[in-house]
Amino acid sequence: MLSSLFKEYDTISELGADVIGISADSVESHLSFCESFGGCKFPLASDPDRKVATSYGAVDDSGKTGVRSVYVLDSGGVILLRIPWYQPGNVGQFMEIFQALGLE
């Protein structure tokens, strides 16, 4: 999923949006991941206790495993779009992100 956001980051940025990737992986894991892509254009945050994931409902039914989700928030923190169980290969879901950002 992040690779598609890497590729479209400039477009997302031009729409006035920021991207933040959050996972339970360690900071060291994030650094290795970014190195594999030649760097990251946006920050990756570590959420080892899944507190952020839990507050956004981005965990499975057990509450112990994060699920791949996408959220688009406005500048006031209001959720404009929530895609639970995001499928990176789903073009329709990916386009929903841009529609929520105002690109038609």
In this structure, the strands spanning 21-23 and 44-46 are parallel
- CATH number, domain of 78, equals 3.40.30.10
Number of domains observed in the structure of the chain: 1
Looking at residue 1, its pLDDT comes to 64
Does this model's pTM top 0.85? My answer is no
What confidence tens digit (pLDDT) does each residue in 35-73 have? 988 888 889 999 999 999 999 999 999 988 989 999 999
> Which tokens sit at 35?
């190195």
- What distance in Å separates the CA atoms of residue 52 and residue 69, rounded to the nearest whole number? 12
Which residues constitute the domain of residue 57? 2-100
